[in-house]
Amino acid sequence: RLRLHDGKLIKDRRYHLRTYPNCFVAKELTDWLIDHKEAPDRETGIRLMQKLMDHYIIHHVCDEHSDYKDAKLLYRFRKDDGTFPLSKDVKVFMRGQSLYEKLVSTEESILKVREENSVKYQRAFLGCEMIDWLVQEGEAENRKEAVELGRALLEHGIIQHVSNRHHFFDSDILYHFWINFRRRRRLTELLNENSSCTFSESSDSPFCLRKLNPDPGNTSFLSVQTNKEIKVVSAVRRSSITSLAGNSNPYFSTSPMLVSPPVAECNPKSVLKRPVTNEELLSPGAPYIKKTLTIVGDAVGWGFVVRGGRPCHIQAVDPGGPAAAAGMKVCQFVFSVNGMYVLHLDYQTISSLIMTGPRTLVMEVMEAVE
């Protein structure tokens, strides 16, 4: 995606008197894949892009085509229009990647080649060393939170005990990063399928997230208020649930598989019954009250979705997440983020402010008086 932006293949395009921002022409992209040796022929290029569509990474700009056509049709990366569903699994993966980059860029890194039982392991570290580092670098508030983060990384297959015998503990047990985030990857890795529509990934694959013991009804976000208009945004898994059948290891299976994601509603309708303007919110005597919420993010985020713009509103809240615990509800309007007035901003900008800000999030919201 970034290479396509740099090459100006992704840009604003006009079609039938309407401008579509940040999109690409399918036929041009297929040409690009062949020219840059990402695909040997057009058929393979089409299959690669279809795989990205199947996993909700790209889509037709009007969602009129569920398949990728090698034609003069406009498609877009969901990351470029805010419709990419950030499930809990993807958030953990992104957190793991961020920690890995920070670790390998540090002088005297705790990641080293280490030996246990005459076997050498790359990117290895002791559990207690990782806990020390996470707390020291401010990646966790305390050792308990650092252990929870380490366990989330292990349950998703990002790190593991070198012999698959232990979960993550604050001790001198040896672990290593199972995924090498810096390994050069090719799109064609996506096409190593077998007849059952699943494919095995190498341990270094960026598309291989292994989550064990998933939460019941695993979803990315769920409205905490009953509303017929909002649908659950299903967790579009770039991983599968690794089967433990016939595996003696209680924590991790060495046979990860990636399955097709469930059908998801990535663009749910707004939970608002009608549009609300800033003037209406701020007018004297308006039936809205302001509340201050302090949300302490956990290992995978804060647990809510912002949508809309000028003003933005809370579209969905994870009922088991930090935001719900702090009192956040759907249909609240976002007034400020960490002291910054944001009623005039769109949801992409507000989301960026939140994601790049501190773990403890202070938000002012405006809520309709019941």
What CATH number has the domain bearing residue 126? 1.10.10.10
Asked, for residue 267, whether it belongs to a domain, the answer is no
Asked which of 77, 108, 127 is the last residue of a domain, the reply is: 77
6 and 28 share one domain: yes
**CATH code where residue 295 lies:** 2.30.42.10
357 and 287 share one domain: yes
Q: What are the pLDDT tens digits along the chain (370 aa)?
A: 888 998 899 999 988 888 899 999 999 999 999 999 889 999 999 999 999 998 888 999 998 888 999 999 999 999 888 888 777 888 888 899 999 999 988 888 999 999 998 899 999 999 999 999 999 999 999 999 999 999 999 988 899 999 888 899 999 999 999 888 887 777 887 777 543 333 333 333 332 222 333 344 433 333 333 333 333 333 332 232 222 233 333 333 333 333 333 333 444 578 898 999 988 998 888 999 999 999 988 777 888 999 988 899 999 888 888 899 999 999 999 999 988 888 888 888 888 888 877 888 999 999 999 7
Asked which of 177, 199, 234 is the last residue of a domain, the reply is: 177
Q: Which amino acid, 212? A: L
Asked, for residue 165, whether it belongs to a domain, the answer is yes
**DSSP string of 115-162?**
EETTEEEEEEEEHHHHHHHHHHTTSSSSHHHHHHHHHHHHHTTSEEET
Asked which of 177, 207, 242 is the last residue of a domain, the reply is: 177
Residue 213 burial class via C-beta count within 10 angstroms: exposed 0-12, middle 13-18, buried 19 and up = exposed
21 and 51 share one domain: yes
Number of folded domains that form the chain: 3
Percent helix, strand and coil across the chain, each to the nearest 5: 25, 25, 50
331 and 293 share one domain: yes
Q: In terms of residue numbers, what domain contains 321? A: 278-368
99 and 64 share one domain: no
Helices and strands in the chain: count of H runs, count of E runs: 9, 20
Which residue is it, tokens 């993807």?
90
Asked, for residue 8, whether it belongs to a domain, the answer is yes
Asked, for residue 35, whether it belongs to a domain, the answer is yes
